[in-house]
Amino acid sequence: MVPKSVLSGMVNMTLMLLHSPSIARAEAPSPDMSATQAIGEGRGRKISLTQALVHAAERSPLVAQAKAEASRSQAVRAAAAPIFPANPQVTVSMGPRFGASGGSAMDVAVSLSQRIWVAGERGLTGARATAFTQLANARLAQVTWNLHWRVHATFHRALVMRERARVASRLLTFAERLGAIAAAKVKAGEISPLQQRLASAEVAQARQAKIAADGAYLTVRLGLAELIGWTGQRPPVPTGVLDAPRVAPKAASLFAIARKRAPALKQFRAAKREVQTRLTLAKRRAWPTPTVGIQYQRESDPSTGGTESSIVLATLSVQLPLWQRMQGARAHTAADLRVATANLTLIERTLRWRVQRAATQVTVGANRIKAYSSTILPSLEQNLAKLRRSFELGEIDLVNLVAAQQRFVKVQQNVLNAYSAYFKALAELESVVGAEIWPDEHHQHAQDPQEEPS
């Protein structure tokens, strides 16, 4: 039996609800319209997890943006392509030469000069371009993997929200049938009108809960459409059933995978290599860059009647690195190297604990779900049918029925909450490790027998 304090609280809450305009409107029959139908999105096209992942890899705006960012490496490679640091320079000089006897002649001088690298700058420039390309690819891989596990997580969340919406739909159907039974019992004089009003209040409560559940399910579907770059007019409908929970593999094996495949670790390693090449290049560019050339001169001597002479000279000029030695660039790059080293050290030292923490959360989530009977989710409708039958036969009054219903619903919601926490922990573990924990968990080995039509 329900304690008197609980009964009193239910009656008081019911009396308050009876004065609400929404309850008065709920007593009148109204068509069952879900949030999806109200917004006008319709059902949408079915899509599996594998299809969602492929669609995201091909059309997600996040991947397109990351590829555009990665294309900057082509500019760095183009900048490293020239053989010399500057273009050759040609100088032409000409002018008259006046002699003491008053005669004149024309002198001409032509020189060709070229700055050259002598400290291995060109090789370092190419190495820097290679390191930058590797960094750009690592960043692209990071974005791609982030998208992958986010699609995984969103798809799982959509399946959980779909189950919540189905539970809310069943509860609404149960409440409406209960209201019809209560109305018949009032006419027969078997129960008081107050119990019928309580049943009407339950109908209104169930209808609002269904609208909220449908809206939450639609919101997750819209988020999935945005994430994978869906081009349809309506958000996709995820297919499949909730996979049976599994405990996480051993943390040591997951950590070994993470050290090889974690995109964040690869990105920080590539970032450190790129900064190291930039710092080496900045130091070498502090060396002098000589200019070599060749000069041809034709001179005329007016005192000898314009006799011409040809002169060929080799030239070499070197800047003296006294004041400008790339101090600013070297200091900034050295600071970047310290930051990159600190970032890499941070993730290397914390990776083991992050993997272990995420694996523990997955195992805890799986054990939470296993603590419930595997028949809890499908048995809700059976339990509600038994409650309705007991109420029809007069074996239970409406107040006790509502209390029992709330108990069944709470257990149902706890199971779905455990599934939600489990899939969230699984997504976090995948994000840290950099690989799917169970590649076969793509919901294609089992189809939902109650899949909603498209």
**In sequence order, what DSSP letters do the residues of 435-452 get, joined into one string?**
S-S-TT-SS-SS--TTPP
Which one-letter amino acid corresponds to residue 196? Q
| Closest of 28, 396, 31 to residue 179, by C-alpha | 28
Backbone angles phi, psi at 112, to 5 degrees: -125, 125
What distances in angstroms separate CA 409 from CA 144, 193, 209, 406, one per listed residue?
Answer: 39, 26, 12, 5
In the chain, what are the domain boundaries? 4-84+119-287+327-433
What is the CATH T-level fold of the domain 4-84+119-287+327-433, as seen in this structure? Outer membrane efflux proteins (OEP) (1.20.1600)
Long-range contact pairs involving 223-227 (C-beta distance under 8 Å, separation at least 24): 223/154, 224/52, 224/151, 224/154, 224/155, 224/158, 227/56, 227/60, 227/62, 227/147, 227/150, 227/151, 227/154
Q: Give me the tens of pLDDT residue by residue for the chain, a chain 454 residues long.
A: 444 443 344 434 433 433 333 333 333 334 444 444 433 344 679 999 999 999 999 999 999 999 999 999 999 999 888 888 899 999 999 988 876 666 677 889 999 999 998 888 889 999 999 999 999 999 999 999 999 999 999 999 999 999 999 888 888 887 887 778 778 777 877 777 877 787 788 888 889 999 999 999 999 999 999 999 998 889 999 998 888 889 999 999 999 999 999 999 999 999 999 999 999 999 998 888 899 999 999 888 766 666 788 899 999 999 888 888 889 999 999 999 999 999 999 999 999 999 999 999 999 999 988 887 655 555 666 666 777 677 666 667 777 777 777 777 787 888 889 999 999 999 999 999 999 988 766 544 344 434 443 3
Q: Tell me the three state secondary structure of residue 240.
A: coil
Instruction: Give CA angle at 184 (180, 187), nearest 5°.
Output: 140
Distance CA(372)–CA(208), nearest Å, equals 28
